[in-house]
Amino acid sequence: MKTKKVTTYEIYKSYIPKLEHKTFIILKHHGMLGKLFRGEEIELTSEGIHIKACWWREETFNQSKQYVPCVLKDENPYWN
């Protein structure tokens, strides 16, 4: 039985369901995927991207140094 290889995008999308592939590629190119998970504001005017800061994600990361997923564990097929 072959196991399907999961892409990095699919893993990120499982944590942030509204993440579009184009946005993922642009953020990855600019090295800003970590900012997305930390809840920091992202502004790439030249790319037409503006993502508001998420204070509770940012505060949780600052206190625990752990990324905060956007979905429950039962909804994410990639969690162990």
Q: Which pLDDT band, with edges at 50, 70 and 90, does 58 fall under?
A: confident
3-state secondary structure of 67: coil
Residue 15: domain span: 8-75
Does a structural domain hold residue 19?
Answer: yes
Which regions of the chain does DSSP assign to beta strands (E)? 42-44, 49-51
> Would the pTM count as exceeding 0.85?
no
| pLDDT in the model for residue 39 | 81
Does a structural domain hold residue 59?
Answer: yes
Does a structural domain hold residue 62?
Answer: yes
Q: How many angstroms separate the CA atoms of 6 and 4, rounded?
A: 6
Please give the structure tokens belonging to residue 76: 């994410």
Does a structural domain hold residue 46?
Answer: yes
Does a structural domain hold residue 69?
Answer: yes
3-state secondary structure of 51: strand
Does a structural domain hold residue 44?
Answer: yes
| pLDDT in the model for residue 46 | 93
Q: How many angstroms separate the CA atoms of 39 and 58, rounded?
A: 5
Residue 17 CB neighbour total at 10 angstroms: 10
Structural domain tally of the chain?
A: 1
